[in-house]
Amino acid sequence: MRVKVAFLGLLMCTASLPVGAGESDRLTLRVSPAVAFAPANLVVRATIVADESNRAVEIVAESETFYRSSEIQLEGDRAPRTSMFEFRSLPPGTYEVRATLRGSHGEHRSTIRQQINVIASGAGH
C-alpha cells in the first residue's frame, strides 16, 4: 500500500506539467486531479482572455482507447472568463486533455494541452 501511495505522489508531481502550449496568452487550462483512480471524474477549467473574436471553446479528453469532448459557445468579450467542464467515469489510461479556442469563423485561435493519468483501481485483486 505504501508503494502505491508513493507511486501516486510521484505521478502527481510529474503528470501535472503541460505537455505543450500554444498562444497561452489567450487560453490557460487547469485539470484536476492530475492523477486519479478509475473510474475518474475530471474537472477542467479553461480560462479565456476576453476578446470579441472568441466564439467557442472545445475541451477534449482522449486516451488510446477512450474519447470524450464538450464544446460551448462564447459571446466574444462578454463571455465568462472561466468555463468549467466535467468528465465523469473515465476508464484507466493516460489522457491528453486539450482546450481549443475558436474564432468567429470557426478558425483555430489557440490550443493548450495537459496530460492526466487515470490508474486502474485494482479492486477485486
Task: Supply the pLDDT for residue 121.
Answer: 83
Supply the pLDDT for residue 44.
98
Q: Specify the pLDDT at position 89.
A: 96
Q: Whose grid coordinates read 491528453?
A: 96
Reported as a single tens digit per residue, the pLDDT across 59-80 is 999 999 999 999 999 999 999 9
CATH 2.60.40.730 fits 2-119, yes or no: yes
User: How far is the first Cα of the chain from the last one, in angstroms, to the nearest whole number?
Assistant: 13
Q: Give CA–CA dist 99/30, Å, rounded.
A: 10
Evaluate whether 57 touches 47 at the Cβ level (below 8 Å).
no
DSSP state of 91: P
53: its cell numbers = 473574436
Q: Which pLDDT tens digit goes with each residue over 92-114?
A: 999 999 999 999 999 999 999 99
> What's the whole-model pTM score?
0.77
